[in-house]
Amino acid sequence: DSGVTQTPKHLITATGQRVTLRCSPRSGDLSVYWYQQSLDQGLQFLIQYYNGEERAKGNILERFSAQQFPDLHSELNLSSLELGDSALYFCASSALAGGGNEQFFGPGTRLTVL
Amino acid sequence: GQSLEQPSEVTAVEGAIVQINCTYQTSGFYGLSWYQQHDGGAPTFLSYNALDGLEETGRFSSFLSRSDSYGYLLLQELQMKDSASYFCAVNPAGTALIFGKGTTLSVSS
């Protein structure tokens, strides 16, 4: 158990819908990262927050957005969902803003878009 | 941009030694990490090399050559439970990880 929690574990929805994925980092970690894992694209970095502020952006679509709240939990919002958005979404946390050398991953949310 | 190359699949038998290579091209470099992921599970950290040389942690070792932009993960005394995907990763901007496509290791008895 990494100490990172993600809800929900599974999510099934329809094209065009909007969903919110939630992540709570390890106690004391200020950095939160979101990654998408699909069969054809592998593990791809989406976005990072550090202590409430956006720190780095990766291959995140404009239809996707995220935020980190004062209690340090984070939410990833996915809107106008398409079939291709079906994937495993991981949240990870680390103590450092720079990512350091170890990130702790949550169990993931499996999103299925029908 | 960034790219990491690693073999897609490796097979071995219990008790054997296997080496998974990773070559990288990045605009910046802080170090090379290795993560293990069992099917459907979360990636878990195995090792990190910031400097050239070998780092050993139990049955697993990791090596880095910065001049060659190359590293490898060495797994010794393989066990069935080592069957998983192994990812090398860099954090070129010192922030998020950029992962290779992963190497699927299958260990048979």
Q: pLDDT of A9-24, one tens digit each?
A: 999 999 999 999 999 9
Residue A33's SS3 state is strand
Pairing of strands B84-90, B103-108: antiparallel
- pLDDT of A100 above 90: no
How many whole angstroms separate alpha carbon A71 and alpha carbon B104? 37
pLDDT < 70 regions, chain B: none
CA A38/CA A87 separation, integer angstroms: 5
Closest chain B CA to residue A34: B96
Mean pLDDT over the full length of chain A: 93
pLDDT of A65 above 70: yes
- HSE (side-chain half, CA atoms, 13 Å) at B35: 25
Position B93 scores a pLDDT of 76
- Tell me, yes or no, if A1 comes closer than 8 A to chain B by beta carbon: no
What's residue A99's pLDDT? 55
How much is the average pLDDT of A64-81? Answer: 97
A-chain residue closest to B41, CA distance? A107
Three-state secondary-structure class, residue A100: coil
- A62 touches B: beta carbon within 8 Å: no
pLDDT the model gives residue B28: 83
DSSP character for A26? Answer: P
- Cβ of B95 and A48 within 8 Å? yes
pLDDT of residue A98: 64
Structure confidence at residue A40 (pLDDT): 77
When CB atoms are compared, the residue of A48, A98, A106 closest to B42 is A106
- Gap from A30 CA to chain B (nearest CA, Å): 13
Integer CA distances (angstroms), B82 to A21, A49, B34, B63, B79, in order: 30, 33, 14, 19, 5
DSSP type of residue A59: S
Q: Considering CB atoms only, which of A43, A48, A56 is closest to B87?
A: A43
Q: Are B96 and A45 in contact (CB under 8 A)?
A: yes
Contact B42 A108 (CB under 8 A): yes
- In this prediction, residue B43 carries a pLDDT of 95
Q: Count CA atoms closer than 13 A to A108's CA, side-chain side.
A: 21
Q: Which residues of B touch A5 (CB under 8 A)?
A: none
Q: Do A99 and B94 touch (CB under 8 A)?
A: yes
pLDDT given at position B2:
81
Would you say residue A95 has pLDDT above 90? no
How many Å apart are CA A94 and CA A56, to the nearest integer? Answer: 14
- Please name the residues in contact with A69: beta carbons below 8 A apart, sequence gap of 6 or more: A52, A75
Nearest CA in chain A to B49: A101
Q: What is the arithmetic mean of pLDDT over A48-70? A: 94
Closest CA relative to residue B78, chosen from B11, B21, B16: B16
Name the nearest CA neighbour of A80 among A17, A13, A11: A17
Interface size between A and B, measured as CB pairs under 8 A: 57
